[in-house]
């Protein structure tokens, strides 16, 4: 039997970095042909506002979004992952198997009523070793992926100090994300972290970006919560638009007119109208980054590239 899969797209955005920020996430399960009753709930305002727990039976899509008045892009990327995985964890609410004195694992049996009134055993239908759930995390932030799959273990071991003996930035969110991931893994669920390039024509990522930016701008878009068959965004596996990906990789001629100049100093991303302004900020600063941007999309792509 094919293992059930929860698909998640996440994205974060910040205007000014630091500045007003937002995050967006899409959570989907089941195929796009079945219909289930929609469970209505209010949009999230922050990553920890609250979680939702509809049944995993059937097929459904939930969009989440939130924002903060003063934050960074990296914090919003982390907030999106925390919120989405928190919901995925709570969907089934499956505790880890208990180990008896004899060393045997006892798998708890948890049941709830599905939207159609049927009593369903969640461990047997959407969890457990024989039919374990997989969470397909499609994230466009290498900072998040590398942090949770590579760096976080060393950070925890070293008292949340990085390789430069400096305190890890965004420790509060990293600890929260690590906790959610640990809960999920203990329940027998697998998380697959898949890098998904941003601004590459991937519908799921584009929608998550749209949610994030509207919250950052203080004009939140309406969030979808209903049957997957009614969802207009294609969440199938996409490699992206070849032309858009090629355009991102190719460097425009240096003589082309600049839309703006961007810089990154001490983790603070800024946009400049002139090269003189940009040069004044980065000149003589160790580790500073700067670049010419040719559009608003180019600005966002550069920022994401620098922040991993």
Q: What is the largest CA-CA distance in the chain?
A: 73
pLDDT value, residue 98: 55
Helices (H), ranges, the chain: 73-92, 122-126, 142-146, 152-157, 171-186, 203-216, 242-249, 275-282, 296-306
For helices 171-186 and 73-92, angle between their N-to-C axes, nearest 10 degrees:
20
Residue with tokens 């959610």: 180
227 token code pair:
């049957």
Helices (H), ranges, 25-141: 73-92, 122-126
Spatial distance between the Cα atoms of 7 and 5, rounded to a whole number of angstroms: 6
pLDDT value, residue 267: 85
Cα separations in angstroms, 203 against 10, 76, 159, 268: 12, 20, 39, 29
Q: What size, in residues, is the chain? A: 308
Nearest CA among 117, 98, 119, 99 for reference residue 108: 98
pLDDT value, residue 204: 96
pLDDT value, residue 105: 46
Dihedral over Cα of 277, 268, 154, 193: its sign = negative
Calculated CA dihedral for residues 24, 80, 303, 293, nearest 10 degrees: 0
pLDDT value, residue 297: 77
The three-state DSSP-derived secondary structure of 247-280 is HHHCCCCCCCCCCEEEEEECCEEEEECCHHHHHH
15, 32 Cβ separation under 8 angstroms: no
- The parts of the chain modelled with pLDDT lower than 70 are 1-3, 32-57, 92-132, 240-256, 308
5 token code pair:
């899969």
273, 258 Cβ separation under 8 angstroms: no
């Amino acid at each position: 039997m094919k293992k059930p899969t929860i698909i998640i797209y996440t994205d974060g955005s910040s205007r000014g970095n630091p500045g007003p920020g937002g995050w967006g996430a899409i959570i989907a399960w089941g195929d796009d042909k079945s219909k289930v009753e929609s469970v209505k709930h209010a949009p999230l305002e922050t990553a920890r506002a609250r979680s939702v727990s509809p049944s995993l039976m059937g097929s459904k899509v939930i969009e989440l979004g939130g924002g903060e008045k003063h934050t960074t892009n990296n914090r919003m990327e982390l907030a999106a992952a925390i919120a989405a995985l928190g919901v995925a964890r709570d969907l089934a609410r499956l505790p880890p198997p208990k180990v008896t004195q004899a060393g045997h694992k006892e798998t708890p049996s948890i049941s709830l009523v599905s939207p159609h009134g049927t009593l369903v055993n969640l461990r047997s239908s959407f969890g457990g070793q024989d039919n374990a759930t997989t969470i397909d995390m499609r994230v466009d932030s290498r900072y998040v992926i590398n942090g949770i799959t590579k760096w976080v273990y060393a950070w925890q071991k070293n008292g949340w100090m990085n390789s430069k003996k400096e305190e890890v930035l965004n420790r509060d969110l990293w600890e929260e994300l690590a906790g959610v991931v640990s809960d999920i893994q203990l329940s027998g669920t697998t998380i697959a972290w898949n890098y998904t390039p941003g601004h590459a024509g991937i519908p799921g990522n584009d929608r998550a970006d749209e949610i994030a930016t509207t919250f950052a701008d203080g004009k939140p878009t309406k969030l979808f919560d209903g049957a997957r068959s009614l969802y207009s965004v294609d969440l199938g596996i996409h490699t992206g638009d070849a032309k858009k990906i090629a355009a991102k990789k190719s460097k425009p001629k240096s003589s082309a007119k600049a839309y703006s100049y961007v810089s990154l100093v001490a983790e603070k991303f800024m946009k400049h109208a002139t090269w003189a302004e940009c040069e004044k900020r980065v000149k003589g600063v160790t580790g500073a980054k700067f670049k010419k941007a040719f559009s608003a999309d180019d600005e966002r792509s550069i920022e994401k590239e620098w922040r991993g």
